[in-house]
Chains A and B, each alone.
Chain A
């Protein structure tokens, strides 16, 4: 969620009330904002050195509250200090609408453009800074770091329409970038900003494209190189009177949301909002922008009342919704319908569910009638594998072993090489984008976690006896999700002696609790129908030769190999592996066969 810092005194002036921090916190809470911090209560010198700020967390879908103007406006409307303004376009005094023509080449890189002209705007230092900050916030959030949408703002009096939006080879684009003195071409610009900590991260959006997007005026003056930087020539200042905003994009919906949001937040400081005529015949995107007309929606009175548990008339609902900036006209033909005008600020409203929620917020979530849905009848049931796992957990603990919960993600070498196990490539689920080498795969065995836990506790009195019952995962191409989990049980003991009989005894105990009788290998192989488990010596590089056994069960006439136990091979203890000083024995079995 974005956090916006606003000047406390200015906001309280706008809200016409001196709030205590608690009162303002409550207002935020009721509206669905969160007061993160009131810096007047801070003890940090840097906070106290400047006028008090309120840091307010904004819900991620409220683009209309990403600046001081939007927070003040929406709260004023909520507090019934004013109604939401109605924004409309004014035809230019000249009678001639400014045009921006989009060239077909832009289809290769960034095909859409929108924009607007704000006429006779009055900037102050605060307004100017807020205008810049809002663009930053929109770039970060809705525009996904400028990939989907990017904004350029220009002093209209320094340039001359009609404008063109083109895509050209980088070497052919030459201009002085914002706040620079040196003219450079597109290619040089990429090198120049390579290490820039603000702009560097945006370069890859276009860097490797054969053509870069660029906006020109009628004198071939560059306005901007979206989505990287504007030209210095047309930069806006505190004295700028007429602002041209151009917005280039990949996403048709978001480009208009950004345009409408900028207009709604800053048109209040301008005399008029003038349209821009986009000429883009090749993709049928010719139109006048922005569209400031409210979106008309229909909501059902019954639905709103049912979900909120209220019993409000259409007029009452209208009053509540007005506080959320929505205008309601009851439907003349159907009493159950509300015609709702959704203003340009409320891009978050997609469905009547959103209107219903606004009614709930305006009424007060915590005042809604709380009626328990006692109609529901249900019978509880545990997931069988969890029930089984819990049996094994409780029996292990009752046998004197301590339950541990290591992580499921681990490194490849912990899971394979350190245990002398080979990865055949089709076993472990691999992560594409882990932040650290600690997390490379989803474990396929519980042993690495147990051994790491023992390592962390190696200074405690011996023996250490630990166990875990949890899932591992394997690649399984027959499944929709191409992998499956498997519930395992594993235990490990480290002591002055190997503890081989201890893990064996624990296995016997668990098997007894799972109603699997011990039989000898000869009996198991001789009699197909004899249910039970037996163990067979096995050559397994994880374990010391001659001290490892494969665990086999016969359930309903079917034989399964469910796991292995033994004394860990001396190579496993090395300092560069699990770094253990005393002998360790382990057991690990798959529990799924007992379902």
Chain B
């Protein structure tokens, strides 16, 4: 073997212990063209094709395929061909013996031949009954069936088409499609397959060997080697796209590291009344243990983290007039939230119902990340300034699970605080935001949300589905939410949100949310989902 072969030389195609490729080459040396049906009659078609393809891919042979129909003898027919038809065997036994008792016939020629053959021999007037015995009528007969089968066996066909049909009906022959190949020498014909190497190696590069090396042809119709790759989850890939969009727009990520929140932060501080349907047992997971939250109070650890994150923002954009930090008064915040619900405050008539501190301190699994936005906005009241925050994290709803609802999903949320914001500005921002996801036509529907006013549902035109789809919610936070925090009246705040699952399902064509989130996802599916590239539709 020539040096430098890393992979093995191709294994010759073997069939019935024959080296077929070599047989073809050998035969072509003396006979060209050759016919596969004649020259290799006993080799199965797929084997001969494999051998020819292998040679043809190396230009050693060329071939043309031809479809024909072939008659093949059944097992029963093979017996007839060897021993004669049943009637012939009956006649011949009777003639040889001169006389056979009818009841003994089975013992002489076999039960099957006796049963089928005596009737036909009788009908053909080859034998007749004589008392309880058969005696011959003819001295010589012509076994037509056997003759026909002999013809079929020799020519794979029968000149008498009607008779062929009859044989087929008698299940003596089967018609099969066969492909025969007419093979001629190719431009690179040689008496044997030259030694081939599968790959370029360092050895070959060291000299000039590569120039004379015969490389095995590459199969360009097959996939390459499987990569045994790891993969990120498609939902997390979409999350990354959203993060990039938010970071490019200067958003600071919010500290969402607590699934459990109090009614205060999740509802009351957002001006969601205590009798609101969202606070029903049907919609919200309440916590039985631990039993109850503390009243809102300082959280130095999280504060320090956000301080560090906003350092450069403060360094670069600190305004000279607005550096005074007004410490937060949690007790006042608590009382103002109560007042705005129960009695009305901050120019609002409020909901006017008896507000319960116990209800407010119930612990829940957060139903939205807006609970965290609320905390962040309250922090902003220390030093009211333009700011942008976002988060993408898990939220919980006590939903009945179906193809589009799970008890958990991810909320994507953005918050923009600034002085003198307009509603049209929010639309403009959202148009840009969704354009980055390939959604260019947006329209906004007035909607109701207890903590935003105005509230807008965002609809986008889906080109694939050719209809308007609700793609998110947005609005400007209510004064009843912002003013108890201590934010000035003219600092207005946009909020917008959408689920992470919905655009992911649209992007990857997933119908059932359970295939996306949760333990029922298919690992193969996870590995095979392409990159997101939201801007590409």
Contacts and interface: CB of A to CB of B under 8 A. Distances in A.
Nearest to B292: A482
B171 to A, nearest CB: 42
Interface string B254-287: 1111111110010000000001010001000111
Contacts of B349: 295, 350-351
B476 interface: yes
B436 interface: no
Nearest to B247: A380
B435 interface: no
A404 interface: yes
Given A377-B386, A384-B308, A404-B521, 12 more contacts: A61-B450, A253-B352, A350-B349, A351-B478, A372-B425, A378-B250, A378-B251, A382-B243, A383-B253, A442-B260, A481-B262, A482-B292
Interface of B: 228-233, 235-236, 240, 243, 246-262, 265, 275, 277, 281, 285-297, 299, 305, 308-310, 312-313, 316-317, 344, 346-354, 363, 365, 386-388, 394, 396, 398-401, 406-408, 416, 418-425, 427-429, 431-432, 443-448, 450, 453-456, 476, 478-480, 492, 517-524, 526-527
7 contacts: A61-B450, A307-B421, A352-B347, A370-B431, A373-B418, A380-B252, A407-B408
Contacts of B346: 351
A351 B347 contact: yes
Interface of A: 1, 29-32, 34, 59-62, 141, 144, 148, 251-254, 295, 306-309, 348, 350-354, 356-357, 360-361, 365-366, 368-373, 375-386, 390, 393-394, 396-409, 429-436, 439, 442, 449, 452-453, 455-457, 460, 464-466, 471, 473, 475, 477, 479-485, 487
Contact of A353 (B277, B407, B448, B453): B453
A386 B446 contact: no
Contacts of B421: 307, 373
Contacts of A484: 257-258
Contact of B418 (A141, A376, A453, A481): A376
A404 B522 CA distance: 9
A399 B230 contact: yes
Nearest to A32: B446
A372 B429 contact: yes
Most buried by B among A372, A405, A485: A405
A394 B232 CA distance: 7
A292 B436 CA distance: 51
Contacts of A380: 246-252
Contact of B365 (A251, A365, A402, A442): A442
A404 B429 contact: no
Contacts, number: 319
Nearest to A62: B448
A282 B251 CA distance: 57
Most buried by A among B233, B399, B450, B479: B233
Contacts of B235: 405
Contacts of A30: 446
Most buried by B among A1, A141, A402: A402
Contacts of A376: 250, 386-388, 416, 418
Nearest to A397: B230
A32 B523 contact: no
Nearest to A140: B277
Contacts of B424: 308-309, 368-371
Contacts of B432: 372
Contacts of B353: 251-254
Contacts of B348: 350-351
Contact of B236 (A393, A464, A471, A477): A393
A34 B468 CA distance: 12
Most buried by A among B260, B293, B316, B406: B260
A371 B386 contact: no
Contact of B316 (A377, A407, A449, A473): A377
A473 B388 CA distance: 28
Most buried by B among A370, A397, A442: A370
A484 B352 CA distance: 34
Most buried by A among B353, B396, B454: B454
Contacts of A482: 260, 290-294, 363
A409 B396 contact: yes
Contacts of B521: 404-405, 453, 456
Contact of B290 (A348, A370, A429): A429
A34 B256 CA distance: 33
B65 to A, nearest CB: 36
A350 B419 CA distance: 23
Given A381-B313, A484-B258, A357 B453 contact: yes
A381 B249 CA distance: 11
Which 7 A-B pairs rank lowest in CB-CB distance, beginning with the nearest?
A32-B446, A378-B250, A59-B448, A309-B422, A452-B519, A432-B288, A482-B290
Given A253-B352, A402-B527, A457-B522, A433 B480 contact: no
Nearest to B455: A357
A34 B250 contact: no
Contacts of A403: 230-233, 236, 526
A486 to B, nearest CB: 8
Contact of B416 (A373, A397, A407, A481): A373
Contacts of B427: 365-366, 368, 370
A393 B239 CA distance: 13
A273 B169 CA distance: 95
B112 to A, nearest CB: 49
Contact of A409 (B252, B253, B295, B407): B407
A347 to B, nearest CB: 10
Contacts of A368: 422-424, 427
Given A402-B526, A403-B526, A456-B520, A309 B423 contact: yes
